[in-house]
Amino acid sequence: MLRLWQDAGHGGSDPGATGNGLREKDVNLAIQQKVTARLKGYNVELGQSRTGDATLSLTARTNAANAWQKGTGNHLFLSYHANGFTDPTANGYEDFVHTTPAAASVKAQDAIHRRVAAVFTKHGRRNRGKKRANFHVLRETKFPAVLLEVGFVTNPQDAALLKQDSFLDEVAAAIVQGLVDMYGIKKAATATPAPTPSSGTHTIASGDTFWSLSRRYGVTVDDIRRANPGVDAARLQIGQEVRIPLKDGTPPPKAAPAPKPAPKPKPAPTIRAGSRVKVKQGARDFNGNRLASFVYGMTYSALQISGDRVVIGLSSGQITAAVHRNNLILV
């Protein structure tokens, strides 16, 4: 059993480090949300300093965590941050415990560092090591505490990764695996629901991906790809029909009714340089990569337009991503 207090650094009127179209407070909260989702079903009790975009002092964070502490069992304070520096070449991952840490803090740092640093080095980013500092949240928390710095928003390559939902998933999975290594937390066994019978075709709805369809129908992503040659999994459209193979990988017979005509594409919105826009929920960047979840709730400026490719960013001119104009909403 583990009681884990999660502290998404900064928030509200305090954006933290900024750069390359990113605000540290958004990255921190996105990591916390992904770790929370992955810990669902584990024998872990969770507490959080913030669950939304709230302004909190350092003292408020540690006071809340200390008041939440209960009993003498395993407790851990985990603070999520992203780095920023005047030198844009600074990059990579590092984590901290206090200058005079409890033994349990050091062990937790070792376990988490080993897993998360491996994600960063896999992507060619630096492992900056395990460090110690007299940070308030490490000093004033009355149980083991570790602070993570998950890349530099001021480094273009780190920032490009932090904008990808798939990379944030990797980091969150590594954090959870570090907790498993350290505390032996286990996920309760759940019965696997029977797959929905295949009707031969599936009409794409909002949020559908080949991976989600593979889970729903009890087949693999590769089976679906083989049954749909020529279909770009990164550019599925609502209303599009895809074939669902049988469990042995053989495509089922086509449905008897004649295929429905593809819906007429909506005319592209009139977006010009300087337009205020939001990104449609679930949309990908112009190259088909998933975007970080916090991107969808923010308002951006259209900075550059080349055909259907629109470069968006914060009003300060920092570039966030390039997306297709059809995936933008004028505000």
140 labelled catalytic: no
Q: How many residues does the chain have?
A: 331
Burial 193-222 (b: 16+ CB within 10 A, else e): eeeeebebebebeeebbbeebbeebbbeee
Specify which residues 46 forms β-bridges with: 4
Residue 301 β-bridge partners: 276, 313
Max CA-CA distance within the chain? 71
Residue corresponding to tokens 């005319």: 267
Q: Is the dihedral of CA 46, 151, 141, 145 positive or negative?
A: positive
What is the Cα–Cα distance from 320 to 312, expressed in whole angstroms? Answer: 6
SS3 assignment, position 223: helix
Spatial distance between the Cα atoms of 91 and 106, rounded to a whole number of angstroms: 23
Which residue type sits at 28?
N
CA end-to-end span of the chain, whole Å?
Answer: 47
Q: Which of 140, 149, 170, 241 is catalytic?
A: 149
Q: How far apart are CA 143 and CA 130, in angstroms?
A: 19
CA-angle at 241, arms to 253 and 325, nearest 5°:
160
**What is the Cα–Cα distance from 23 to 15, expressed in whole angstroms?**
6
Residue 59 burial by CB count (10 A; 0-12/13-18/19+): exposed, middle or buried? exposed
Rounded to an integer, what distance in angstroms lies between the CA atom of residue 47 and that of residue 32?
Answer: 11
Question: What residues act catalytically?
Answer: 149
